Amino acid sequence: MSKVLVIDTSLRPLDPIHPAQARQLLRNGKAAIFRRFPFTLILKQARPETSVQPLRIKIDPGAKKTGIAIVNDITGIVVFAAELQHRGFAIRESLTSRRQLRRSRRNRKTRYRQPRFDNRKRSNGWLAPSLMSRIHNIETWVKKLIQLVPITAMSQELVRFDTQLMQNPDIQGKEYQQGTLAGYETREYLLEKFGRKCAYCDKQDLPLQIEHIAPRAKGGSNRISNLALSCEKCNLKKGTKDIKEFLKKDPVRLKKIEAQAKKPLADTAAVNAARFKLLEVLKSTGLPVETGSGGLTKFNRTRQNLEKTHWIDAAVVGKSTPEKLIISCVKPLSIQAVGHGSRQSCRTNKYGFPSRHVPREKIHFGFQTGDIVKAVVKTGKKVGTYVGKVAVRSSGSFNISTKNGLVQGISHKFCKRIHAKHGYSYAV
């Protein structure tokens, strides 16, 4: 089972314990709930000084999701696991929308605005807000876990795809002439690009081969945009045929494959652009940071016959990975970055004109939208117990989003906050 995090009366992290032991401490009144997510207990009585086992936090950064795992290097036990979903692409779309609205306002018949010089200089190491959002999310959770778990070291997957090498396989240089990482980069990227299935028949869970869309015999190149994944049967059947000839009876699939082949490396670029900035942020904690490659991560995972998930990839990052990982019954915590709301006080319609006003007050009756509450309703038509995220109103009649659906019209008098809003939502 997943371990329960424990801190002492001085807020110092102790060894995580088994859930049964945690239930016994709560039942006997020796501990109280300190935090719901991740679930943490705080002892009520001071304990004598005891040594704690050092643990390592391991991170597998991704464009959309980042895997986090806390591993005991000695025993191989995975103490904690989580998958952190980012909102980087949502931030990018929001900034794009805001820029379009701003430009449309300036192009309408409004007052004259004198142009100003472009004298705003970006600082060294500047990254786009969508990229910094990912780094800040990881930094927040690393610092949060360091306060709750006796972490003494870190591991980060530093390089996953080498886009320069994939775009130009004939690139020269000592670092590209040695090792087998180049072949891994191309194959692993194609697996993600085509959904780990054959591009021509959609079969999966079978050996896949790298295939040239425009055959080499007819002048096709080794560029990543000319490669696809195919099962052996389709690869032999296609042979040296051009893809337009091979799929002339299936124009829908032809159009889909051509679109996939030209798909930009947006996710890959996002990870690569922020990797060294993330490394710098992790080193600023003062803990030693180990880095590993994507090839080593895949080697460690396949050697132990583990399935591919974000948190398992995190658990096998780096050379420090134990020979045998114990992951039985580990339930990863699903974390989603939802932000802290918008500072925009006037909402607009699709044309950029004001449509409604947003009230300045965010807190009503001690609650704010996004808090996780428990409502015990004993009278009225909605008798029952409801746990979920609350949406507040100034009238005091709240809506609660539970796992069984939305419950409307719950009075604030029945609500008790169990977790304050802080920019993240959770699911197990």
Which CATH number goes with the domain that contains 407? 2.30.30
Instruction: Give Cβ neighbours of residue 110 (< 8 Å, ≥ 6 apart).
Output: none
Residue 122 lies in a domain: no
Q: Which residue type sits at 308? A: K
Query: CA 165 to CA 186: how far, in whole Å?
Result: 8
Which residue in this structure is represented by tokens 């490669």? 227
Q: Nearest CA to 42 among 69, 83, 13?
A: 13
Query: CA 315 to CA 182: how far, in whole Å?
Result: 23
Question: 155 and 29 in one domain?
Answer: no
Question: 330 and 403 in one domain?
Answer: no
Residue 236 lies in a domain: yes
| Final residue of a structural domain among 198, 226, 261 | 261
**Interstrand relation of 40-43 and 5-7 (parallel, antiparallel or unpaired):** parallel
Query: CA 26 to CA 100: how far, in whole Å?
Result: 54
What 8-state DSSP symbol labels residue 180? S
Query: CA 111 to CA 1: how far, in whole Å?
Result: 65
Q: Which two tokens stand for residue 100?
A: 């379009």
Which residue in this structure is represented by tokens 């054959």? 198
Which of the residue ranges 156-170, 299-313, 333-347 would you say has the lowest mean pLDDT? Answer: 156-170
Residue 408: strand, helix, or coil: strand
Which of the residue ranges 254-268, 341-355, 373-387 would you say has the lowest mean pLDDT? Answer: 254-268
Which of the residue ranges 4-13, 270-279, 367-376 would you say has the lowest mean pLDDT? Answer: 270-279
Question: 423 and 276 in one domain?
Answer: no
* pLDDT surpassing 50 at residue 78: yes
| Final residue of a structural domain among 284, 303, 337 | 337
Q: Nearest CA to 19 among 34, 36, 39?
A: 39
Question: 314 and 242 in one domain?
Answer: no
Find out whether 370 and 118 touch, Cβ atoms under 8 Å: no
Question: 321 and 303 in one domain?
Answer: yes
Residue 376 lies in a domain: yes
Q: Which residue has the higher pLDDT, 44 or 175?
A: 44
Q: Which residue type sits at 93? A: E
Question: 247 and 214 in one domain?
Answer: yes
Chain segment 87-145, per-residue pLDDT in tens: 988 898 888 888 888 777 777 766 777 777 777 778 888 888 989 999 999 999 999 99
Q: Which two tokens stand for residue 384?
A: 């029952």
Question: 257 and 189 in one domain?
Answer: yes
Name the average pLDDT for the chain: 85
* CATH number, domain with residue 239: 1.10.30
Q: Which residue type sits at 389? A: K
Question: 295 and 201 in one domain?
Answer: no
Q: Which two tokens stand for residue 340?
A: 């802290």
Could you give the number of structural domains in the chain? 4
The count of C-alpha atoms lying within 13 angstroms of the C-alpha of 238, restricted to the half-sphere facing its C-beta, is 28
Which of the residue ranges 148-152, 346-350, 362-366 would you say has the lowest mean pLDDT? Answer: 346-350
* CATH number, domain with residue 280: 3.30.420.10
Residue 119 lies in a domain: no
Question: 152 and 14 in one domain?
Answer: no
Question: 281 and 138 in one domain?
Answer: yes
Q: Which residue type sits at 81? A: A
Show the domain range for 405. Answer: 359-427
What element of type H or E holds 401?
strand 397-402
Residue 107 lies in a domain: no
The count of C-alpha atoms lying within 13 angstroms of the C-alpha of 65, restricted to the half-sphere facing its C-beta, is 15
* pLDDT surpassing 60 at residue 260: yes
Q: Which residue has the higher pLDDT, 113 or 374?
A: 374
Residue 131: strand, helix, or coil: helix
Find out whether 36 and 419 touch, Cβ atoms under 8 Å: yes
Question: 316 and 244 in one domain?
Answer: no
Residue 375 lies in a domain: yes
Residue 278 lies in a domain: yes
Question: 286 and 151 in one domain?
Answer: yes
What element of type H or E holds 363?
strand 363-364
Chain segment 133-183, per-residue pLDDT in tens: 999 999 999 999 999 999 999 999 987 654 554 555 555 444 433 444 455
Sheet holding 78-85, edge to edge: 289-293, 151-159, 55-60, 65-71, 78-85, 333-337, 424-427
